[in-house]
Amino acid sequence: MLDIDLIRSDPERVRANIARRRNDPYLARFAELLAVDRDWRKAQQEAGDIRRRRNTVSKEFSEAKKAGADTTALRREADSLPAQLTELEAREALFEQRRRELLMGLPNLLDDSVPYGKDDTENQVIQEWGEKRTAPADLPPHGEYLESHGLGDFERARRNSGAGFYYLMGPLVQLDMAVQRLAMDMLVQKGFTPVIPPYMLRRAPYEGVTDLADFENVMYRIEGEDLYLIATSEHPIAALHMGEILDEDRLPIRLAGISPCFRKEIGGHGVDQKGAFRVHQFQKIEQFVFCAPEDSPKIHEELRTNAEEFLQRLGIAYRVVNVCTGDLGIVAAKKYDLEGWFPRQGKYRELVSCSNCTDYQARRLGIRLGKRGKPGKVVPHTLNSTMVATPRALVAIIENFATTDGRIALPEVLRPYMGGVRDITLPTLAP
RNA sequence: GCUGAGGUAGCCUAGUCCGGUAAGGCGCUGGCCUUGAGAGCCAGUGGCGCAAGCCACGGGAGUUCAAAUCUCCCCCUCAGCGCCA
């Protein structure tokens, strides 16, 4: 949520920034917000005048009665006030609600370094790392590959739960856990505090962390309960300090979330191939930071570096993309995507998303900064980044490290987490 | 799920039975005094508004000239019981 004081004091600057997103409905909403905010303040004023009169009359009434004086005239005026007030209050409430809707629907202010562009085709590649490996010429799509070796079952998952679900089995499960453990260990070593968050959130905290459209497009809701399955541990972790005043001296707070993530994503892109790349349920190790406003650009780079280091240690080539103005979501002011090299597909695909949400998320959540019990008006910044998400990362490992003789060669950093073995030897199933 | 107790400012608490417009403490800020960021004393300390002022006691509706206070509905928290890996 944007700072209403900023919108009032410098509407042109906000409008110009919103325009860079190349999304006209936002501009229309912004214009309406300016009007509704004025209407609301006026209605508030008018209702306030009536209330003041009511308070005065009520007091006079009480005194007159005590003194035994005639109260007829006062009574007549007092009787006429509630009806007027009811109408004005209805207007006030209407404007206030609309104002809030509009404010919650407006996107964050974009950082100046975000490249101007219309959609994901205009994102800017700012860095590449590593040597692109090649996959065995006959390597099948990973879904088939896993099924043929008994490491995954997508047919039965589809039968039982629908498309986008999977059974992972055998050594692939250990590989999944190994990848997560490596990611978590790296973060702990860098001073992050591990967090297992709630896997479901109520609506109120959820509205604070994400785009309202996600309630329709992304999140699964629990039938008959005010609960939503989390789409990422970013969400419950951001809500960890909802409504609180954070001690400035304790910042930055670095947290490493581990959780399953659940996503419907019906509004997403086209259907992906069978398998474990794009799924309704996955596991993610997440970096999350609450920090002072002035520190967030630096910490954004830090989170990106952490995620890069993870891919480097695995030995997977990647590139860093600065997501352009037209492709950024509502919450982030700036976002890097790390795209890993997938040799069999011969292209880079998203493995990591690293965002600086500035004060937008924290303001929606009502988080402020203060010092030793003194509430301040400064709102902290929040940042989040994938460290690793599985099973997508497993697909990358398979494409990068599958050998021609039916093994998956393990990157050295993973071996300690896999009982010291150098590779996964694949069981061959009878056709 | 049942029973009970609760939800008041950054925090803790009084007020609720009996309606009259939120008392006090802690913390924080400023001032006085001081060798002093200590003690003591004084003042300030939520939101909106240029201001007068209005709003704010978990949320909503109602009664009333007037609601933290009375009525109804809902939400949440805690404790005990029940169920349970």
pLDDT digits 0-9 by tens, A77-118: 777 777 777 788 888 888 888 888 888 889 999 999 999 999
**Would you say the C-beta of A422 is within 7 Å of strand B?**
no
Say what the pLDDT of residue A214 is: 86
- Shared domain for A20 and A154, answered yes or no, is no
Is a pLDDT exceeding 60 seen at residue A272? no
Residue type, A3: D
Say how far A174 CA is from B48 C1', in Å: 58
- Shared domain for A97 and A204, answered yes or no, is no
Per the structure, the complete domain to which residue A199 belongs is given by: 120-425
pLDDT band at A212 (very low <50, low <70, confident <90, very high): confident
> Beta strands of A266-363 (E only): which ranges?
281-291, 318-322, 334-342, 347-356
What is the arithmetic mean of pLDDT over A164-177?
93
**A240-270 per-position pLDDT tens digit:** 988 888 888 888 999 999 999 999 876 444 4
Comparing A307 with A97, which gets the higher pLDDT?
A307
Tell me which of A105, A136, A151 is where a domain ends: A105
**Would you say the C-beta of A321 is within 7 Å of strand B?**
no
Say what the pLDDT of residue A270 is: 46
Shortest CA distance to A371 belongs to which of A252, A290, A250, A255? A250
- The pair of structure tokens assigned to A315 is 């030995």
The Cα–Cα gap between A363 and A235 comes to 14
Tell me which of A60, A80, A105 is where a domain ends: A105
**A19-29 per-position pLDDT tens digit:** 999 999 999 99
**Would you say the C-beta of A82 is within 7 Å of strand B?**
yes
Q: What is the DSSP letter of A23?
A: -
Q: Which residue has the tokens 């998956």?
A: A408
The Cα–Cα gap between A327 and A21 comes to 8
Residue type, A11: P
> Which positions in strand B are less than 7 Å from the protein's CB atoms?
10-11, 20-21, 26-29, 46-49, 51-55, 64-66, 75-76
- Shared domain for A86 and A128, answered yes or no, is no
Mean pLDDT of chain A: 89
Cβ atoms of A37 and A54 closer than 8 Å = no
**A394-412 per-position pLDDT tens digit:** 999 999 999 988 899 999 9
- Shared domain for A73 and A126, answered yes or no, is no
Residue A197: what are its φ and ψ, rounded to 5°? Answer: -90, 170
Cβ atoms of A388 and A284 closer than 8 Å = yes
The Cα–Cα gap between A349 and A321 comes to 11
**Would you say the C-beta of A371 is within 7 Å of strand B?**
yes
- Shared domain for A89 and A132, answered yes or no, is no
Cβ atoms of A295 and A378 closer than 8 Å = no
Question: Which ranges constitute the DSSP H helices of A106-148?
Answer: 142-148
ipTM value, please give it.
0.82
**Would you say the C-beta of A203 is within 7 Å of strand B?**
no
